[in-house]
Amino acid sequence: MVVGDFPIELDTLIIGSGPGGYVAAIRAAQLGQKVAVAEKAEMGGVCLNVGCIPSKALINAGHRVEHAKHSEDMGISVDNVTVDFSKVQEWKGGIVKKLTGGVEGLLKGNKVEIIRGEAYFVNENTVRIMDDKASQTYTFKNCIIATGSRPIEIPGFKWSERILSSTGALALQEVPKKMVVIGGGYIGMELGTAFANFGTEITVLEGGKQILPGFEKQMSQVVSKRLKKKGNVEVFTEALAKGVEETKDGVKVTVEVKGEEKTFEADYLLVTVGRRPNTEELGLEQVGVEMTERGLIKINKKCQTSVNGIYAIGDVVEGPALAHKASYEGKVAAEVISGHAAEIDYMAIPAVVFTDPELATVGYDEKSAKEAGFDVKASKFPFAANGRALSMNETDGFMKLITRKDDGLIIGAQIAGGNASDMIAELGLAIEAGMTAEDIAMTIHAHPTFGEIAMEAAEVAIGLPVHVVK
């Protein structure tokens, strides 16, 4: 790196190397741009390092433990299941290392320059990138902001050795005996369930009337039912955390539950009440980039901000904080910069929670479809009527298709059940391709598979179900 006040010229600069930034960089390079990525921390961002990937690895390991302990009804019993959690963490770390190294290799393979350091806007086409040794000025023709988000730290619950964010929970070197989780959203329920499967006693405190508030009540009830079966998870809704006292080897959490004050003791407190966009320390006010009250960057359908040549994607813009949303927006921004007629369309963006069982949704649910003015039909098919689900002891849950009554067009789908995260892709494609329930029903699905549930739900939608009584 050249050090000094002479600016280095770049065509396209991307700030952040998470699932939005590195994908945008690769696509922009593929389309002929000369690209550089500025990253102040680890390649791959939150998702690969302390988010999606390590959490799913931990969740999968937890499932292995649970299955080993509870397969008696299949005639399989294990007397003593032991967990070496340091080895679990070592295995998880190996996956992260492989993927982050893969990202760096992909960037270099596409001739993307990697600049280490923190970027700060000087003006609308200039940034200064600083590391702990030096700083350098760069000018650019186009810039994509992809700096992601971080966990929200609430007043009175400052991060510490015992008060953890999702990042801290993923780094634990032992399985806690007891853990309190503030926030029953997707992060709290995923990590809470994972540790419950390892044997931790979990207490979930959710401020709303149901856990997983972003999903239909019928879906969250499937998860609640499974949590009760575990026997080591207790959920309190309409619960407001009032304070926490750290002890020598744990925490005491004071909570108001439906007007009654309660105290919970645990080894750790995990706080998962949402995420905050990383936009404060970029110097955006220097260049007049328009922001929302929540600190998000305003963009149009082409991912363009209010400043010409500056784009924004991922967790720093409106919409759900999803890695695949960031990647999608990154491709759109790269294509717009390259002169392509691209724009964002969120109609078929899936959302998945890796709880037990999994939840997935895409397009409209029944309520939002009606609010949007559609006359719809909701058609459900239970996992309990599927042969593959029965053979795998995954009979909890259902698939629901949302179709327009007049023509059977699929405009939404919800799944609560095993393998929901993989199954939702077919329904997203169906919505994107403008398919009807009849199209799905007439598609031959392999037997016995979870995929058949989509065909069966479609047959319910057209009024000709085979494996449930009409």
Walk along the chain (470 residues) in steps of 10 and give the mean pLDDT of each run: 72 97 98 96 95 96 93 90 95 96 97 97 96 93 98 95 97 97 97 97 97 96 96 97 94 95 97 96 94 96 98 97 97 98 95 98 97 98 98 96 98 98 98 98 98 98 95
Instruction: Give how far Cα 315 sits from Cα of 123, 130, 279, 284, 320, Å.
Output: 23, 23, 10, 16, 7
> pTM of the prediction?
0.95
Catalytic residue, candidates 70, 340, 447, 467: 447
Q: Residue 371 corresponds to which amino acid?
A: E
User: What's the pLDDT at 4?
Assistant: 53
**What does the alpha-carbon distance between residue 127 and residue 137 come to, in Å, rounded to a whole number?**
6
Q: Which helix (H) or strand (E) holds 116?
A: strand 113-116
Q: Residue 79 corresponds to which amino acid?
A: D
Q: Which pair of structure tokens corresponds to residue 458? A: 């479609």
Q: Which CATH number fits domain 4-151+276-337: 3.40.1170.60, 3.40.50.970, 3.30.70.260, 3.50.50.60?
A: 3.50.50.60
Sign for the pseudo-dihedral over CA of 284, 289, 294, 298: negative
User: What's the pLDDT at 5?
Assistant: 67
User: What's the pLDDT at 211?
Assistant: 98
**What does the alpha-carbon distance between residue 315 and residue 302 come to, in Å, rounded to a whole number?**
16
Residues 197, 285 contacting (CB under 8 angstroms): no
224 among annotated binding-site residues: no
Q: Quick one: 163-273 is in which CATH superfamily?
A: FAD/NAD(P)-binding domain (3.50.50.60)
3-state secondary structure of 355: coil
21 among annotated binding-site residues: no
**What does the alpha-carbon distance between residue 302 and residue 27 come to, in Å, rounded to a whole number?**
15
Residues 266, 234 contacting (CB under 8 angstroms): no
188 among annotated binding-site residues: yes
Q: Which CATH number fits domain 357-461: 3.40.190.10, 3.40.1190.20, 3.20.20.140, 3.30.390.30?
A: 3.30.390.30
Domain with CATH 3.30.390.30 in the chain: 357-461
Domain with CATH 3.50.50.60 in the chain: 4-151+276-337, 163-273
Instruction: Name the burial class of residue 151, with classes exposed (0-12), middle (13-18) and buried (19+) by CB atoms within 10 angstroms of its CB.
Output: buried
Residues 167, 152 contacting (CB under 8 angstroms): no
User: What's the pLDDT at 70?
Assistant: 87
Q: What angle do CA 103, 106, 110 make, to 5 degrees?
A: 145
274 among annotated binding-site residues: yes
63 in catalytic set? no
User: What's the pLDDT at 1?
Assistant: 45
Show contacts of 393-396: CB within 8 Å, 24+ apart: 393/73, 393/74, 394/357, 394/418, 394/419, 396/222, 396/225, 396/226, 396/357
